[in-house]
Structure 1
Amino acid sequence: MQNKVKQLKNYAVYDDIEGFLINKDIRSSSGNSSYMMPSATRVSNTRKNYEGDIKQFFNVIKGKDVKSLVPDDLVVSKSELSNYIKYLQEKGLVNNSINRKMTSLKMLYTYLEHDYKDYIDLSVFNTVERLKTVTKNWDKTTQTEAERIAQDMYINERQKPLMKKLFVKFAIRTSFRVSAILRVRWKDIKLDESTGHYIVTVIDKGSQVVSTGINQVFYEELLQLKEEDISETELVFQGLSEQSLRHSLKRSKKRLGIPPERELVLHSFKGVGIDYVYENSGHDLLAAKEQGNHKNTLTTERYMSRKINIANSAGVTMDEKIDLTPLYEATQEDFISFFENTDLVTFKKFIKHVNER
C-alpha cells in the first residue's frame, strides 16, 4: 500500500504572523476617528506587545527570527512551554506578565490553526496552568501632594518645566490615562457655551471615546503652552513622553522626600480626580465611576483612598435620633462657616433651596 503523501503547500509563516498582527491592529483601532492623529492609527500598542511576545518566544524556544520560521517550527511541546515559563521567571518577570505572554502565544496559535492543522495542537496550551498572581495596586496620592509635585517639576526640571507642571494638573483633573493625555490636541478641547467651561474629548483605553470638563481658569493656564511654543503644534503636550515623565516623577519624589519604595506612579494621578468627585458629590460612587471612565464601580474603588466610615451605615442611622436644638441655636456666622467648608453638593442644594423660596 502506498504511503499517503501530505499535500505540499507554499507556507509563509512570517506572512501569516503578520496577518495576525494586522488583525490585532484592526481590532484595537478606532478607525478613522476624528479624535486620533493619522500617525496614531498605524501601529497600535496592542500590536507592539503581541509582536514582542511572539519574537521573544521563537527566538528563545526555536532559536530563530520570525522571518526564518517554517511550518515545522510551529510544533511546540508542553515541555517547551514549561521551559519557556521557567526562562521568563529567571529573567525576573512577574507572573502577571508571564500570563500575558502565554495568552499572546495561544491567540497566535488559534489564529494560525486553520492553515497549519498538521503542525498545531492547541490542547498543549491547556497543559500549562496560569500562574497565580497577587494584585498589587499602585500607591494613591492626594490633590495637595500632586500639586506639590507639579510645582516642584516647574521649579526644578530643566526641560519643559511648565509643560510637566500642567501635565500633572491636567491628569488629576481629567483622570485620563497618561497615553490618552499625551494624545490630546488643542482642537480636542472645545468651549461648552452652556457653562463657559471646556470639554476635553479623547480616545482612552479600549478605543473608547471619553469626555470630561475643565474649568475656564485652568484652560487659560494651558494656553501658556501655546505662548511658549512658536511652532504651533497640534498636541497640547508636544514633546513629552511617558518615559520622560516617569523620570521626572522619580526625581521629584526624591527632591520632596517621598520614599522610593512608595509605589507612587504616573497612574496614581488618575485617582485624585476620582477621590475629589466622590467627596464633593456627597459620596456618589456612580459619579466617581463616571470620572474614572470605568465600566464598573469595583474598578473605581481600586483608585479611591476612602476609609471605612460606619457613621452613615443603615445599622447606625436607622436607630439614630437627631437633636435639632443646635440648629435653632446656631448663629449666622455658624451657618456661613459651615457652608464655606461643606461639599459642593450640599452647598448647591442650599443655594437652590434659597432661590426657590
Structure 2
Amino acid sequence: MISETNSKVVELHSRKVFEDIMTFIGKFESKHTQRNYERSIRNFYLWLDPVHKDIEYLNEDDLKVRNADILRYQKYLKDHEADYTNITINSHIAPIQSLYEYLEINEYPINSKIVKISMLSDDSEITGPLYLDEAEEMAKLSLQDRKLGQEKYCLIRSAYTTSFRKSSLLSLEWTDIKKNPLADNYLVTTIGKGNKRHTVPISTDLYSELLKIKEQPYYRKFNDNKIFHLSPNTIQILMNNLKKKMGILPERNVKFHSLRNVAASFGTIEEAKKHLNHSNISTTERYRKHTAEDYSNSISLRIEDKIDDSILEHLSKEELVQIIIQQNHGVLSQIKRDAQDMLNNKEGMVVIM
C-alpha cells in the first residue's frame, strides 16, 4: 500500500509522464488503435522492469532507454512462444518509436533516434501451403517416436483439425474440452489472438487419441492439467525431421503454422473465416491462396470454355469416380457430403414406402 508521502512523490514524478503518454494515445481517433498503442507501450515498459514500470508510475529517467534495449525487445518478441509474425512484432515496436518522437517534440530530454531500428521484413505471405494428405502423413510419421509419439501425433492432428495457433494448443488444458450436449463430438475452447474466445468441435476419435497421452509413462510427472508439454524447440525439430522424411523442399517454406492453414481450403470462405477465427475476411482469402497457383483453371479461361453437360454421360462409373477423387479437398469433401445426404434421403424414402 502506498503511503501519503510516497503518493505525493509518485504524483510529482510520474503523473506528468503518464498524462503525456495518454495524451499521445488519445490523439488517434480509432479506439482500436488507442487500445493497441496503449497495450504495446505498457508491455514494453513492463518488459524493461516487470515490478516497477507500470506507465502510471513512469518518470523522466525511466524514458532513457538505449538502442540496444529496443533491439533486445525485438529479439524477445521474435523468440516468444506465441510465435509472432514479423508484421505483429513491427506493430508492437512502432508505437514505442512514435511515442518517443512525440515526447521529444514536447521537450523531454530524450533523442527519438535512439529507438529507431530496422523493421522486420513483411512475412505475411511467407508461411508455405500444406495439404490435408501431407498433414495426415505428418501425424502418422510422428507416431514413430517411441517416447513422445502419441503426444506429437495428437499435436499435429489437433493443429490441422482445429486450426488453433501453436501458442493456443500449448496452452490447452483438459478442462478446455467439454462434451457437446447437442451432438456426438467434443467442444474445445481457447483464447486466441486478440483475446478472442474461440470454440471448435473435434471428433470423438480425436478426443480418444488425446486421452491416450495420459496413459504414457512420462506423463505421470505432470500435474498442471495441460494437455501438451512439448517445447517450441522440440516442435521445431519435429517439423524439420518430418519435412526431411517427406521430401518437402525448403523452397516451400512449410512451418508448423502451415498446419493451421490446411482447413482454409475447405467449405465456403465464410465457414473458413469462422473456423480460422479471423476478424477480416480478406485475411481468410489470403490463407486460401496457395503459392503455386494453377492458372489453367482460371475464370478468364473457363468462361470461354463451352462444354456441354451431356459429356458426363459418356463416361463410365469408374471414370467419373476417378475425376471426383482428383478434385481438391474442399470440393471432394462437399461432394461426399452431398452423396451422403442423397443416400440418407433414399433410405428415408424406403422406410416411408
For the residues of structure 1 that align with 2:283 and 2:45, how far apart are their CA atoms?
28
Alignment of 1:325-336 (within 5 A): 325-335=310-320
Whether the 8 Å contact between 2:163 and 2:275 is mirrored in structure 1 is yes
For the residues of structure 2 that align with 1:253 and 1:230, how far apart are their CA atoms?
31
- 2:336 pairs with 335, 347, 353, which one? 347
Task: Report the AA paired with residue 183 of structure 1.
Answer: S
1:175 deviates by 0.6
Task: Report the AA paired with residue 241 of structure 1.
Answer: S
Q: Tell me: CA distance 1:132–1:214, structure 2 relative to 1, closer, same or farther (3 Å).
A: same
Alignment of 1:50-129 (within 5 A): 50-51=44-45, 54=48, 71-74=59-62, 97=89, 100-104=92-96, 120=108
User: Residue in 1 aligned with 2:36?
Assistant: none
Whether the 8 Å contact between 1:74 and 1:119 is mirrored in structure 2 is no
1:155 deviates by 2.0
- 1:140 pairs with 116, 129, 132, which one? 129
For the residues of structure 2 that align with 1:231 and 1:245, how far apart are their CA atoms?
20
Whether the 8 Å contact between 1:85 and 1:98 is mirrored in structure 2 is no
- 1:224 pairs with 212, 225, 235, which one? 212
Whether the 8 Å contact between 2:41 and 2:96 is mirrored in structure 1 is no
| Structure 2 residue 144 is the aligned partner of structure 1 residue 150 | no
Task: Report the AA paired with residue 155 of structure 1.
Answer: Q
For the residues of structure 2 that align with 1:242 and 1:201, how far apart are their CA atoms?
21
For the residue of structure 2 that corresponds to 1:182, the secondary structure is helix
User: Residue in 2 aligned with 1:285?
Assistant: 269
Whether the 8 Å contact between 2:135 and 2:156 is mirrored in structure 1 is yes
TM (norm. structure 1) is: 0.62
User: Residue in 2 aligned with 1:300?
Assistant: 284
Whether the 8 Å contact between 2:74 and 2:93 is mirrored in structure 1 is no
Task: Report the AA paired with residue 170 of structure 1.
Answer: S
User: Residue in 1 aligned with 2:25?
Assistant: none
- 1:248 pairs with 221, 238, 241, which one? 238
- 2:262 pairs with 272, 285, 288, which one? 272
Task: Report the AA paired with residue 308 of structure 2.
Answer: D
Q: Tell me: CA distance 1:264–1:346, structure 2 relative to 1, closer, same or farther (3 Å).
A: closer
| Structure 2 residue 183 is the aligned partner of structure 1 residue 199 | no
1:166-196 superposed Cα distances (whole Å, 9 cap, x missing partner): 1011101111011111222223222335441
For the residue of structure 1 that corresponds to 2:172, the secondary structure is coil
Task: Report the AA paired with residue 236 of structure 2.
Answer: R
User: Residue in 2 aligned with 1:175?
Assistant: 163
Whether the 8 Å contact between 1:225 and 1:236 is mirrored in structure 2 is no
TM (norm. structure 2) is: 0.63
For the residues of structure 1 that align with 2:297 and 2:251, how far apart are their CA atoms?
35
1:236 deviates by 5.1
1:294 deviates by 1.0
More helix by share: 2
1:78-101 superposed Cα distances (whole Å, 9 cap, x missing partner): xx88x669977999x998656633
For the residues of structure 2 that align with 1:335 and 1:317, how far apart are their CA atoms?
20
- Note the residue ranges of structure 2 that are not aligned, 5 or more in a row: 1-7, 23-38, 79-85
Q: Tell me: CA distance 1:352–1:241, structure 2 relative to 1, closer, same or farther (3 Å).
A: same
Q: Tell me: CA distance 1:318–1:118, structure 2 relative to 1, closer, same or farther (3 Å).
A: closer
User: Residue in 1 aligned with 2:27?
Assistant: none
Alignment of 1:24-35 (within 5 A): none
For the residue of structure 2 that corresponds to 1:201, the secondary structure is strand
Whether the 8 Å contact between 2:191 and 2:197 is mirrored in structure 1 is yes
For the residues of structure 2 that align with 1:332 and 1:259, how far apart are their CA atoms?
37
For the residues of structure 2 that align with 1:153 and 1:131, how far apart are their CA atoms?
39
1:349 deviates by 2.8
For the residue of structure 2 that corresponds to 1:139, the secondary structure is coil
The size of the alignment, in residue pairs, is 299
Identical aligned pairs, as a percentage?
23
1:281-338 superposed Cα distances (whole Å, 9 cap, x missing partner): 3xx2222222211112332244345354556655445554332333333344445555
1:272 deviates by 1.7
Give the superposed CA RMSD.
Answer: 5.0
Task: Report the AA paired with residue 178 of structure 1.
Answer: K
